[in-house]
Chain A
Amino acid sequence: MKTDDLIAILDAPTEPGPRLGARFAVLGALGMVIALAAVALVYGVRGDLSDAVIVTLLKSGFGAGAAFAVAPLALTLARPNTRVKAAARATLVFLGGCACVAVADAVLRGSFFGFGLWGGFPECLKRVPPLAAPIAALLFMAARRFAPTRLTLAGAAIGAMAAGLAIVPYALFCPMDYPAYVATWYLASILVCAAFGAAIGPFVLRWR
């Protein structure tokens, strides 16, 4: 049919659409509650929590900080977009901060003790992704509605954001308190979740 005919039958939208930021906030919070329940019921809260309140808050803060740092990028990538450099700034600052903490710990301690490798395989790499999965699922559902056009990057950003939110309750379980450990291995688990998100983004975020 003639394109002019098609345009003639399309109505201007009359209702305001939903707001992506609000949806992300609500679903992110819901996901965190689910992750909290999973930590409490499956992983178990650490026994010495009452002695480690401040450290736990700091580690939860790391997770929340990561989520907020990636949020501008995730929100931008969830919509049709070609340029995302400006939105990536907060993420890059966060990454830089992690690097600084890791380096500072090694220098001040004079060794790599703070990286916790003496404890064997870093547990968070195994335990954070399953916590992040339901959060990521909720965020993917929200993002899909907004027509992302760079699906791999959007998947990565959402995966990273979900991981950050999952770390908030995860800190209640994790017994490793060294800053270098957190800055490296928590960050690594965020990157793992970002990689998963990037892998499934092109399938889950596809819209018509």
Chain B
Amino acid sequence: MSSGLLLAGVEPACHVAQRGAPIRRRTARDGFTPAMTNVDAEWRELLLAGRTGDAAAYRRLLKEVAARLRAFLMRRLDSAQRGDLEDIVQEILIAIHRHADSYDASKPVSPWVYAIARYKLIDYVRRTRRMRLSVPLDAVAEFLAAETIEDAPARGDLASLLSTLPPKQQAAIRGVKIEERSVRETAAATGMSESAVKVSIHRGVKRLIDLVGKRP
């Protein structure tokens, strides 16, 4: 993949699922074991599928990224910072969600994920002024090698965050996302039109992730 091809305007189409497109695979030379290369390839598939609307693939990607982030961060945060660990993981997931279309499909995906994670970590250090945290620029292999740790609750509660939203958005999100009913059922139950439900979900989620992102 010659870098010369990355001229303005001659960029690979990032939003067509390019499972067969050749990318420069990381090798043992970069410190990647075959297992890590597999993880990288799997995440890439999930992200590309997610970008074309596959919600299940997208969620699975976020869960797997979160699991590895937890393990990676556990080793790097000191005990005073560990209380914030889940909050940091959530901020990184939100950043990945917001900027999912910045991933260039012709490149490996784990450096992209790691770069976002590192950026948000540095932000955290700057904000809380807890200086003892070193995040090397190129610890992608270490990040992928970290074992996975399953979910742990962070501060705050979805229910209480939801209650800060206007009633329409609360009802829409509760119906479709939490009780997992269809848009049509939720529309019928709440008396809103289907498009009103969709708009309310969209706005409500946006507000929620803004709230999550603003935590001190």
Where the two chains meet, the residues of A that have a C-beta atom closer than 8 Å to any C-beta of B are 1-14, 16-22, 24-25, 28, 68, 71-72, 75-76, 79-83, 86-90, 146-147, 149-150, 207-208
Check if A82 sits within 8 Å of B173, measured CB to CB.
Answer: no
List residues of chain B with CB within 8 A of the CB of A22: 8-9, 11
Check if B115 sits within 8 Å of A10, measured CB to CB.
Answer: no
* Interface SS of chain B: helix
Is B35 positioned at the interface, with any CB of A under 8 Å from its CB? no
Check if A80 sits within 8 Å of B97, measured CB to CB.
Answer: no
Interface residues of B, count at CB 8 A: 66
Check if A149 sits within 8 Å of B53, measured CB to CB.
Answer: no
Known contacts being A6-B90, A71-B6, A82-B115, is A19 close to B11, with CB within 8 Å? Answer: yes
List residues of chain A with CB within 8 A of the CB of B94: 6, 10
**Per-residue 0/1 for B44-61: is the Cβ within 8 Å of any A Cβ (1 yes, 0 no)?**
000000110111011100
List residues of chain A with CB within 8 A of the CB of B107: 81
- 22 A-B residue pairs with CB within 8 Å: A1-B156, A1-B158, A1-B212, A3-B151, A4-B151, A11-B202, A12-B50, A16-B101, A17-B15, A17-B101, A17-B102, A18-B101, A19-B14, A21-B10, A22-B8, A22-B11, A24-B9, A71-B7, A72-B6, A79-B103, A80-B113, A82-B114
Is B144 positioned at the interface, with any CB of A under 8 Å from its CB? no
List residues of chain A with CB within 8 A of the CB of B55: 11-12
Known contacts being A2-B153, A80-B112, A81-B115, is A13 close to B50, with CB within 8 Å? Answer: yes
Check if A1 sits within 8 Å of B154, measured CB to CB.
Answer: yes
Other-chain contact of A89, B3, B51, B138, B158 (Cβ < 8 Å): B3
Known contacts being A1-B153, A3-B90, A147-B116, is A12 close to B51, with CB within 8 Å? Answer: yes
**Per-residue 0/1 for B125-161: is the Cβ within 8 Å of any A Cβ (1 yes, 0 no)?**
0000000000001101000000000011110111001
